[in-house]
Amino acid sequence: MKILHLSAVQNWGGGENHIENLCAELQKITPSTQNSILCIKDGLFEQKIAKTNIPYFSVKLGFKMDPRFFLKLIWICKSNKIDLIHIHDSTALTLCIMGDHLYNLPPFIFSKKTSFPIRPRKQTLYKYNYPKIKRILCVSEETKNVAESMIKAPQKLRCIYHGTNVNDRIETNKLDLKKQLNLDTKTVIIGNIANHIWPKDLETFIMTANELVNVQQIKNIHFVQIGAYTNRTDAYLKKIQELHLEDHVSFIDKIPNAKTLIPQFKISLMTSISEGIPQFIYESFLKKVPVVSTNVGGISEIIEHGTNGFLAPSGNYEVLADQIIELLNNPELIEKFTTISYEIVHEKYTTEIMAQKTLIQYKTVLHGR
């Protein structure tokens, strides 16, 4: 089989991490299956994938419907005799459909990686119900449930959790956060890794810090947020200043391989208002760091409240703050949460399991079932 993976995303995030993990695992379990990637030229994804041994193509994307993308796609499919196209974001899906109107492309598989509802607009419904899409792979059961009402053939939907690579050597980053930020060695770090986009609700991350530091007067604590800056960043930094939290909250622009910093966190804090299932949670499980998270998207499918983590309503920074305090005051609870989560991620949420389940869908589609 020759599989071409499509990404029309400029940045690096969980979705792009999924593509890299999937291609790497497929190379291991089925060397005869050839995987390649078409991505945006000079984007962060290309920079990252260029350091791997995964074959890839790149093309400029000056605007959302840039014909250079689908013309390059057509050329790749013709010259490389691609059997199946795996589409990884909605922009790439649009471009793929445009290309299919010019040339009879191979069948599509589409990965839906968020819990955003499919809008009931004519063009959107046409795109997600395009007949060449043979499977829609959903990152969680919640994502599958959200999509179901808008898909004419719901039997195309499958849930495949992305998981994390448990065979990776657990590396420690050379960057020492406490030294870098001039923190006392006894300071507790509450961490988050996410790009600065609206679903991550970093306003609530800041307000949780405010509740602990300024309202409850807990001063031996520092909140560290790592992720690619966007046009939302200035508002976050202004909010930190307004609340006089400069000594207790640090926002750090994207860091290569930021997941290696997770072991320096005492607690991983997720404040999203919409998610599929964030890679940050899987990585925290693997690195034995307890998770406090908002209960959105598919997160409750991997965290059982009070069993292997804490869940709170989205936006409720007071509950999030209380849950952080409960963990800090109960080392035995931290041990319980991290032990169970570490076992769960190895049993159910590995990239190897993800790749094996995805491979089954590839074969099923190509064999016409």
- The per-residue pLDDT for 172 is 61
- The per-residue pLDDT for 169 is 60
Q: Which residues contact 279 (CB under 8 A, 6 or more apart)?
A: 14, 17, 18, 162, 164, 259
Strands of the sheet containing 188-193, edge to edge, are: 249-252, 221-226, 188-193, 267-270, 291-294, 310-312
- Do the strands 84-87 and 108-112 form a parallel or antiparallel pair, or are they unpaired? parallel
φ/ψ of 268, rounded to 5, equals -95, 130
Joined together, the tokens standing for residue 174 give: 């050379």
pLDDT band at 147 (very low <50, low <70, confident <90, very high): very high
Distance CA 268, CA 289 (A): 7
pLDDT at 153 over 60: yes
Q: What is the mean pLDDT of residues 289-295?
A: 98
Element housing 224 (H / E):
strand 221-226
Q: Which residue's entry shows tokens 């790149």? A: 58
pLDDT at 145 over 60: yes
- The per-residue pLDDT for 168 is 67
- Interhelix angle 331-348/279-286, nearest 10 degrees: 110
pLDDT, tens only, 196-246: 999 999 999 999 999 999 999 999 999 999 999 999 999 999 999 999 999
Distance CA 93, CA 9 (A): 12
pLDDT at 114 over 90: no
pLDDT at 369 over 60: no
Q: Select from 170, 155, 352, 346 the least CA-distant residue to 261.
A: 170
Strands of the sheet containing 84-87, edge to edge, are: 56-59, 34-40, 2-6, 84-87, 108-112, 133-138, 157-159
Q: Does this model's pTM top 0.75?
A: yes
pLDDT at 173 over 80: no
**Structural domains in the chain?**
2-163+350-366 (3.40.50.2000), 177-348 (3.40.50.2000)
Give the C-alpha distances (Å, rounded to integers) separating 157 from 123, 315, 357: 20, 30, 13
pLDDT band at 367 (very low <50, low <70, confident <90, very high): confident
pLDDT at 327 over 60: yes
- The per-residue pLDDT for 11 is 80
- Do the strands 249-252 and 221-226 form a parallel or antiparallel pair, or are they unpaired? parallel
